[in-house]
Amino acid sequence: MSPYSAGDDKVDILIVDDLPDKLLALQAVLEELGQNLVLVQSGADALRELLRREFAVVLLDVNMPDIDGIETAELIRQHSKTAHTPIIFVTAYADELQTARGYELGAVDYILSPIVPQILRSKVRVFVDLYRAQRRAAKVARAEAARAAAEAAQRRSDLIALASRELSASLDLRASMERLLEVLVPNVGGCAVLFLDTGNGHLGLYRQDREPARALEALTLLPPAVRRAMVEAQNGGYPLEIRTDAGGSNHWPPWLRVAHVLPLRVGDRNIGALTVGTVDHEAATLDDRGLLEIATRAAIAFDNAQLYSSLGREMARAKSAEEKLQEANRRKDEFLAMLSHELRNPLAPIVTAAQVLDKVAPNDSRIAWVREVIERQVTHLAGLVDDLLDVSRITQGKITLNREAVELGKVIEHSIEIVRPLLDTKRHSLSVHVPDTPVWVFGDYSRLSQIFSNVLHNAAKYTTEGGLIELNAVVDRGSVSVRVRDNGIGIEPQFLPHVFEVFTQGYRGLDRSQGGLGVGLAVVRRLVELHQGEVDIVSEGPGLGTEVSVQLPCISQVVQHAGLAPAVRSPRGGKRVLIVDDNADAAESIAVLLQIEGHEVKTVTDGMQALSCLESFAPHVAIIDIGLPGMNGYELAAGIRANRTLQTPLLIALTGYGQAEDFDRSREAGFNHHFVKPAELRAIQTIIDGDLAADAEVEERRTSV
């Protein structure tokens, strides 16, 4: 019976003898061990088997033809794979010379014939047990090495994730540098140095042991070898590992003998260098790949911080300029209001005086002519004052609309009646085309009449005598478009973009025969916008006429197709972007940059808040942190995609985890893009801008089903 349990793996034992009877005898003796017995009859066959597999022990006959046992043992010892395989010589006779030669070749024992079975089994069992122990030890060593490698990989991943979180926590450059140094020391080494080119100079920081980060005024304060390596790494853009000078310095402990120097690169630009000091090469917690990954992420974070700082300065200057403009605009509005009021006061006495003249001398033709001139000019002046008052009220937000259901045809008829005297005076031909069925809009009757009378008045005023004016109203897709076209003097191309601005007019001769203040179209635009409409003007150039189009929403019920969610439309000037991040500073900093680019941004701190605001905010883009409290980012993405009541937004993961499996999980959860913190914000902005056209195409395809 075998002394080994069924769970033990069998080992191989090689028996070499040229006599079949002796092979069978040895086999019979060793079968009780329960191992794999391999029997061969020559030294050559033995060598082939030894190269094919491992053996716990070899029983080798000394006296064999061709290659005897001693020669076979010598060949076995020459091969690295079999150099340490135990050999037991079996022989009927052994002199001292032969025995000495056998032991010299590494024989572990000599067994003389006739063989005592118990002794042979006992000796072979020893080597079987030894082989098993060695194999178990090797297995344990491999498991320990694998466990150590896994732990090192986990430590590397955790440190990189920690560095990413700290780098993305702030957009202040110095704060980001200090946070990175706190991660590196003492987690990676005993000292770390950061030196950046800020564009306006250099910024250096260093940290030793657990002391706070301190300023480094110049690289010359470091040991010469470290200083030269940092300059070389920054200029060349490649990492270095060097032995430091034995003396050290106030900014570099003398017991740190190895410096890991890494360039800080963003694209093809070198913006600085990072150095981590360790006792020796093996003492670094992170390998070279891990250090380079942190340096890469740090470079992006520092570049983002410098960009944000530059934008902050530009924003401050722009805000100051805007405040000055707003103050100047406010004073202008106040002046217009005061001027309009003061100009209106004398008008009534002037009109009264003209009427008195008519009473005093009713039959005097000269007095009648004077009265008509006064009344005509007062009427013109009153119109100018009314325009000024309208501009003042509109710019100060004091216009209030009395909204009601209004038939557009009646508004147009009233507008034509207002400008009819001017049309008749200049003998213009006016053609009007409106729909046969009534078109209803929700607005202020008097203000709508003002819109179209101003447009018609401009067309009549800037068209030479006997001109043609056309008014066409067309209803399409829930809105009405009213176009007024003339064959008048047209508009110069350089003035066309500014015609809706206050006090803007095209070229006028010294005679100023057209008159006016240039505020009519400014009033038209604001009144149209108050009615949720749009106004536009086109002209092919001087002498080629002008066309003004006013588009207003009609009163109608918009019916959605059954089971189809309303399409998400991008707001003018940008997208609606939802940012989900439990780090308020990180979320707000990204929000500020996106708002600068013209996007409408909403920030929330967890997944439940994000889901609750989906329908009300209807985001086009969602930027989501993976490590959210409660519901993580993967679960939130799945929840957003499960919502069938709205079009799924573009999903962007922004996280500190950047391993291959993290990208796979993001893809499985439904994310369109995965960025690792700190991400280059220009890249995220490019993704958002690049999806505008694609989104519109998808939206059109879906809503047309």
pLDDT confidence of residue 643 = 83
Among 137-141, 310-314, 347-351, 585-589, the least confident range: 347-351
Total-model pTM: 0.42
pLDDT confidence of residue 658 = 66
Which of 290, 220, 302, 232 is CA-nearest to residue 261?
232
Q: What are the backbone dihedrals phi and psi of residue 556, each rounded to the nearest 5 degrees, phi first?
A: -160, 160
Over range 38-65, report the average pLDDT.
91
Over range 12-25, report the average pLDDT.
92
pLDDT confidence of residue 591 = 82
Helices (H) and strands (E) in the chain, counts: 19, 23
46 or 504, higher pLDDT: 46
H or E stretch covering 233: helix 224-236
Inform me whether the pLDDT recorded for 41 exceeds 50.
Answer: yes
Inform me whether the pLDDT recorded for 540 exceeds 50.
Answer: yes
How deeply is 533 buried, as exposed, middle or buried, from its count of CB atoms within 10 A (0-12, 13-18, 19+)? buried
Cα 489 to its chain centre, rounded Å, is 51
pLDDT, tens digit (0-9, with 9 covering 90-100), for 186-197:
888 889 999 999
Which of 312, 305, 264, 314 is CA-nearest to residue 680?
305
- DSSP structure string for 369-432: HHHHHHHHHHHHHHHHHHHHHHHHHHHTT------EEEEHHHHHHHHHHHHHHHHHHTT-EEEE
Beta bridge partners of 663: none
pLDDT confidence of residue 569 = 40
Most confidently modeled of 85-94, 450-459, 512-521, 550-559? Answer: 450-459
Inform me whether the pLDDT recorded for 621 exceeds 90.
Answer: yes
pLDDT, tens digit (0-9, with 9 covering 90-100), for 297-324:
999 999 998 888 888 888 888 888 888 8
Confidence of residue 294 (pLDDT cuts 50, 70, 90): very high
Over range 669-681, report the average pLDDT.
81
Tokens of 700: 């059109």
pLDDT confidence of residue 285 = 61
Residues 325, 647: Cα–Cα separation, whole Å = 41
pLDDT, tens digit (0-9, with 9 covering 90-100), for 547-595:
999 999 988 433 333 333 333 444 445 789 999 998 887 787 788 778 8
Which of 115, 108, 102 is CA-nearest to residue 22?
115
pLDDT confidence of residue 395 = 60
pLDDT confidence of residue 353 = 67
pLDDT confidence of residue 385 = 66
Which of 695, 705, 579 is CA-nearest to residue 648?
695
Inform me whether the pLDDT recorded for 596 exceeds 90.
Answer: no
Buried b (16+ CB within 10 A) or exposed e, 295-320: bbbbbbbbbbbbebeeeeeeeeeeee
* Under 8 Å between Cβ of 204 and 215: yes
Inform me whether the pLDDT recorded for 273 exceeds 80.
Answer: yes
pLDDT confidence of residue 394 = 64
Over range 115-128, report the average pLDDT.
91
Confidence of residue 702 (pLDDT cuts 50, 70, 90): very low
Q: Which CB contacts under 8 angstroms, 24+ apart, belong to 79-85? A: 79/50, 79/51, 81/50, 81/51, 81/54, 82/50, 82/51, 85/50, 85/54, 85/55, 85/57, 85/58
Average pLDDT of the chain, as a whole number? 81
Tokens of 379: 């009427």
Tokens of 664: 């796979």
Report the largest interatomic distance among the alpha carbons of the chain, rounded to a whole angstrom: 169
357 or 699, higher pLDDT: 357
Inform me whether the pLDDT recorded for 696 exceeds 50.
Answer: no
Which of 676, 698, 702, 689 is CA-nearest to residue 304?
676
594 or 519, higher pLDDT: 594
221 or 5, higher pLDDT: 221
Sort residue 272 into left (φ over 0), alpha (ψ -120 to 50) or beta. left
Residues 267, 303: Cα–Cα separation, whole Å = 11
Of the chain, the percentage scoring pLDDT greater than 90 comes to: 32
Place of tokens 């301190």: 214
- DSSP structure string for 538-556: E--STTS-EEEEEEEEBS-
Most confidently modeled of 233-242, 347-356, 680-689? Answer: 233-242
Residues 524, 504: Cα–Cα separation, whole Å = 13
pLDDT confidence of residue 106 = 74
Q: For residue 83, what are the contacts with CB-CB under 8 A and spacing of at least 6?
A: 76, 77, 106
pLDDT, tens digit (0-9, with 9 covering 90-100), for 318-343:
888 888 888 877 777 667 666 665 66
pLDDT confidence of residue 407 = 92
pLDDT confidence of residue 499 = 79
* Under 8 Å between Cβ of 627 and 676: no
Q: For residue 161, what are the contacts with CB-CB under 8 A and spacing of at least 6?
A: 656, 657
Inform me whether the pLDDT recorded for 597 exceeds 90.
Answer: no
In single-letter form, the type of residue at position 345 comes to N
Count of beta carbons in the 10 Å neighbourhood of residue 575:
24
* Under 8 Å between Cβ of 491 and 547: no
